Structure 1
Amino acid sequence: MEYSLAMTFVTSSGDKISMTVTGVRSDISQAEVSTLMDTIIAKDIFLTKGGSLTAKYAAQLTERQVTKFDVQ
């Protein structure tokens, strides 16, 4: 299984922007996600058209299962 974390932030202009991190642990907690998002906002390292990231809006963990078939 592959897990990804999609996080949505509010920018200084009021727009919403999302980013996704792949390879996330399946047991990541809500507190860890909240802390990660707070750190991203505090470090202010992402440049967006809408300005700086100013607030958390949403987050979700997605599970993806891939089944490969040998068709040769």
Structure 2
Amino acid sequence: MKTLKMVFANAGGSNVTFSLKNPKAGITASEVQTVMDDIIAKNVFATTGGDIVSKVRATIVDTTETTLFEV
């Protein structure tokens, strides 16, 4: 499973991460940066450290899950 992780800094200096499962195939850095800019500009999320003020990084994490046993 792939997860897009977008990391922002808030006004209090802490990092805030938003994780989205199954991002579209072929998503580009430019597309992600545009979305992150929109999130900052529209101030759509509240954090305990204040407003989101800047982008830190974005990554796609690819995880393989193997079930060892199930009850």
Scaled by the length of structure 1, what TM-score is found? 0.82
Asked if the contact 1:3–1:26 (Cα under 8 Å) also holds between the matched residues in 2, the reply is no
RMSD: 1.8
Identity %, equivalent residues: 30
Question: 1:25: how far off?
Answer: 1.4
Question: 1:33: how far off?
Answer: 0.7
CA distances 1:29-56 after superposition (whole Å, capped 9, x unpaired) = 0100100100111111111010000000
Residues 53-72 of structure 1: pairs in structure 2 closer than 5 A: 53-66=52-65
Aligned length: 69
Query: CA–CA distance in 1 between the matches of 2:9 and 2:65?
Result: 32
Which structure 2 residue ranges, 5 or more long, are not aligned? none
> Which of structure 1's runs of 4+ aligned residues deviate more than 3 A?
65-69
Letter in 1 for 2:58: A
Which structure 1 residue ranges, 5 or more long, are not aligned? none
